[in-house]
Structure 1
Amino acid sequence: MANSVITKSLKELLLDYLKKHRKADLLTTYFFFLEKKYHIEPVLFIREKTIYQSKAELLKTLEEAGKLWRETEIKIQVGTQSVNEATKKIYICPFTGKVFGDNTHPNPQDAIYDWVSKCPENTERVDGMKVKRFFVSEDPEVIKNYIQKRREPITKIVFSSGVTGKLFGSKKAVIDDFKKNQLKEMELVDVPSQNRFKIEDHFMEFIQEHLDDTKISAFVDAMAKEDAFKTHVERWVEENQ
């Protein structure tokens, strides 16, 4: 019976746990045993105020329900036009042809002054200073020559969080953000006694099933058959008399 309940690996884990927690009571030790035997890692899903059995269980549930992430498309506009059909006046650098439009730049005249004063191809100087010479045109025909067709937008697949709505470049990034900002780890021993959060139904069934007196007694009997645990078992018996 003892070998079927407490395996060699579980025995080593319990020995280490009781070495660090010499005064651990029966239920605390029993819950530790359950955590290790059934790989329970309780987490609180903060937004839903619900405790789940593990991160993996929660992620699986949300993904199957389509609530963890959604695949979507976004369009990325490449480049901006310096001149378009609505431009009425342009300022042109005579050295490079760079142009600023009156409707595409908040301060086109200041921008052209600044540009030609620093333009690497402007070699004209007056008193050692670069000249600030540029052209201005309001002629629709001239302006039309500077209108360049914009490149087609790029379509990219991204993933939106089903919890926050934020966009991410990959599913992994969605999940990493979810784990970091939406989950809080808990210990199993703290779950049954808390009353602030809901316990997920299947997890609640697991807890109720294993809080059965018969199963706790079987755990104590198995521990009692191991010499290394006898002192602890005797203490638990005394505490519960």
Structure 2
Amino acid sequence: MSVKNRIKEYIKSLNIATSTFEESIGASNGYINSISKNIGLDKLTIIIEKYSNLSIEWLLLGKGEMLKDTIQYATNITHRTPQIVTIDSHSQDNIALVPQTLKAGYLSGYNDPNFIKKLPSYRMPGLNNGVFRMFEVEGNSMFPTLPNKSYVVGQFVDNWETGIKDNQIYAIISNEIEDGLIKRCTNRIKKYNNLICKSDNRRNFPTQNIEPSSIKEIWEIKLHLNFQLPDPADIYDRMNDLEAEIQEIKRKQLY
């Protein structure tokens, strides 16, 4: 089913005329029928804002249910979808990149279509089933797993209570994260209303407890891109030196 036909199906569920829907999004009569492969970003943004119960993943990709699940949790967190997405000429989601320099801007502009449209966007092979976003790693809190200035691609997590798995790495969009967006998480949202965010470099970066109400978005990391490939020879040399020192100490103890 095409995007156009899914829009028609949604209009039918509203029990309104197509012309009424077109008028509500500022489109002229016949706009829906004129859609070929994809819908314009400006109209998509208006639809997202005016019809908040419509699943954008279903509209663009045909995935899941037409209407969002609005089941309320004890923590007052509902199922969520990204506020803003961009699509290419084939109606496929682009992967917008959030570089380090725009980290602060993303915290306030994650649901601003003008901000998201200005982000560079890419397509990645193998990342097709879901909504994805790319983030530049900031600092050394996740070193050596994720070095500074490398990149990660995250898949949007809509159900925080069940979708966040212990000891997996996520991009947490929250003002409470003090040293970078990327953390390894322990999910205690249902039990304690708490998301525990840990750094892999735990000697220098303490664990943080994040209240879910402060979180704007969560993305599960699916891909890591590192353009500064480490030389394993240095590691092997250090290991060999250490092994030789241990053997020398043992040898001296025998005499």
Interval containing the TM-score (normalised by the shorter chain): under 0.3
Higher relative contact order (CA 8 A, sep 6+): 1
Provide TM-score, normalisation by structure 2. 0.23
* Greater share of helix: 1
Query: TM-score, structure 1 length as denominator?
Result: 0.23
Which has more radius of gyration?
Answer: 1
